[in-house]
Amino acid sequence: MREFLSKVDLTLLEASATPDDFTAMAGIACETGCRAVCVPMIGIYPSSLAIKKWSSDNPMRPHRVKVCAVIDFPDGNLTTMSRIWLVNNAGFSGAGECDIVMPMGRFLSNKLESLEFEFRRLMEEAGDRGVVLKLIAETGYLSDSQIIRSAEFASKYNFMWKTSTGRDPKVQIPEKARHVRLVREAFPKLKIKAAGGIRTREDVEMLFDAGADILGVSWKSAIQIADNW
């Protein structure tokens, strides 16, 4: 169970989430040894503050909990300069990682020069801030060849690759596992995060078996999975 949690990004992206919710989730992540907390921009500060407070209150219990900000959620339709600014601001505010949604319209219409420019600039901006990036592919929109192309971008620009935001279009866990395996076989060294709809131990095991390195799981689902491990 501890090994499972050490590879989980506890996630809270609901519009109704309050600062107290982010604080509570960060405390649980520290207490249980989760990998990270995954939050919207507004959740960075309360999460960072809660992690610092937990560390101060528990000096003999070191942890590695990171704050991961989700950028341009859920649609990926902001301008390049807006997305670059958000990554910079997330790093300045305390995020060590950013999960950034693929600009799907540009990707599907093969605006590859635009994407190359953006990913290069994002990589530079993140590097200046010491922020790790993950590219959210939203595989429910993509064919197998497009999934591979998205992972190729991630690999080229030193991003991790992430399956989805968990919003529409929904992808069932067996199909999500197939997508993970497809990318793992094509890019053996690429770090892969699977997310969206993970609710049971069977889901967890299927995705890890397919080759996922990290799982994004809603904080309440992760607690239930751990309790029933």
Residues with a catalytic annotation lie at 99, 162, 193
- For 58, other C-beta atoms within 10 Å of its C-beta total 12
Question: Is there a contact between 119 and 153 (Cβ–Cβ < 8 Å)?
Answer: yes
| 188 prior amide bond cis, ω within 30 | no
Give dist(CA 32, CA 34) in Å, integer.
Answer: 6
